[in-house]
A = this chain, B = another copy of it.
Amino acid sequence: MMDPADDTLPTNGDRPKSITLKDVARLAGLSPITVSRALHNPKLVKPDTIARVKEAAAAMGYIPNMLAGSLTTKRSQLIAAIVPQLSNSMFAETVQGLNDELSAHGYQLLLSVSNYSRQKEEDLLTAILSRQPDGIVLTGINHHPGVRKKLLATGVPVVEAWDLTPSPIDIAIGFSQERVGEKVAQYLLGKGYKRFASICARDERANRRRLALEAELQQHGMAPIATHMATPPTVMNLGREGLRAILAEGHAPDVVVCSSDVLAQGALIEAQAQGIAVPDTLGIMGFGDFDFAAYTHPPISSVHVDKRAIGVQAARALIAKIEGRPLAGNVVDVGFQLVERATTRTVG
């Protein structure tokens, strides 16, 4: 749908040649370096010189060229982040937290999305490194081999977010996927559930939670009766399809564990569409404690993670490291909490 009213091509095409420090210096009758100092290091310059500079700069609409600046200082004030997905995910909140904290400290965010592909993550990293970021945030701890190598070679501060490992590339800020899986298993076993199914995104962390859950089940002599894998991006409908597939295969689980509340909501809707009572006939467990989870009917039992805090803490750790301040530790566990709502209940 084009608006027919206005199809004149604005001809601001040829960019006005940019005005530089030298231009401002000439106007102010000073040397370029003095202008530079007046703008970035006022303490070294006489107050009225500063005033003269600011006036000249404002008059000419001077905008510094940070590319040139960073080329000499080797500081870009740029932090790059790679997340698997933005829409429909928990990462938007982490990115918002990251950005807020960075912004408050004068840093800017270069954002990339890997679509859950390790190869894509590596390609993005190469492009990112060429911009000389002061710090990098990666999602997860499982990367293409080249990633760790490149990162160690450049020596940029790195946070691996949303997971934990005893041997991070540099810093890890997240929580243990395994402990989530165990805790969920223990909780559901305690509730009396016996026939476990799962709907799990093809995502490394989700899968590790699932495996830990299965391991814990086996410790109690049980095994999952059905697993459905869903290919990201994680959208609600994949949860519907997942439950439909499990039931179509003839399984009759008494609880289905989903790797995301988004999938859990889908499973819930499918159950209701098929006339299966939740939680009476089927329990449903989600993950992520999305905003909507508390307001579905019935509300979804889930695992809460402070998504925003992960971003904020990642920013703080990077900035500390960049500025040479010591870190309390290079592995930060932000924890998680199981949130019991109404899609699970005590059985029999």
Which residues does A use to contact B, with CB under 8 Å?
A: 1-10, 12-16, 18, 61, 63-68, 70-71, 74, 76, 78, 85-88, 92-93, 95-96, 99-100, 103, 108-113, 124, 126-132, 149-150, 152-156, 164, 166, 170, 235-236, 265, 269, 291-292, 295-297, 308, 321, 324, 326-335
Which residues of B sit under 8 angstroms from A154, Cβ to Cβ?
Answer: 15-16, 18, 63
Which residues of B sit under 8 angstroms from A297, Cβ to Cβ?
Answer: 297
Which residues of B sit under 8 angstroms from A87, Cβ to Cβ?
Answer: 92-93, 96, 308
Once the chains bind, are B96 and A330 in contact (CB under 8 Å)?
A: no
Once the chains bind, are A103 and B113 in contact (CB under 8 Å)?
A: yes
CB distance from A262 to the nearest CB of B (A): 8
CB distance from A56 to the nearest CB of B (A): 16
- From B88, B124, B170, B324, contact of A12 by CB (8 A): B170
Can you offer 21 A-B residue contacts whose CB atoms are under 8 A?
A2-B328, A3-B332, A3-B333, A6-B166, A6-B329, A9-B330, A12-B170, A16-B153, A18-B154, A63-B154, A65-B71, A65-B130, A66-B130, A67-B76, A67-B131, A78-B131, A87-B92, A87-B96, A100-B113, A103-B113, A108-B131
User: CA separation between A190 and B67, bound complex, in Å?
Assistant: 58
- From B6, B63, B333, contact of A2 by CB (8 A): B333
- From B14, B109, B334, contact of A112 by CB (8 A): B109
- From B4, B13, B110, B296, contact of A295 by CB (8 A): B296
The 6 closest A-B pairs by CB, nearest first: A15-B155, A3-B331, A66-B130, A86-B96, A7-B329, A92-B92
Once the chains bind, are B92 and A132 in contact (CB under 8 Å)?
A: no
Closest chain B residue to A327, Cβ basis:
B9
Which residues of B sit under 8 angstroms from A308, Cβ to Cβ?
Answer: 87
- Assuming the contacts A10-B170, A132-B65, asked whether A110 and B108 have C-beta atoms less than 8 A apart, the reply is yes
Once the chains bind, are B88 and A15 in contact (CB under 8 Å)?
A: no
Closest chain B residue to A125, Cβ basis:
B63
User: CA separation between A209 and B309, bound complex, in Å?
Assistant: 34
Once the chains bind, are B295 and A265 in contact (CB under 8 Å)?
A: yes
Closest chain B residue to A236, Cβ basis:
B291
Once the chains bind, are B5 and A166 in contact (CB under 8 Å)?
A: yes
Which residues of B sit under 8 angstroms from A292, Cβ to Cβ?
Answer: 265, 292
Once the chains bind, are B9 and A126 in contact (CB under 8 Å)?
A: no
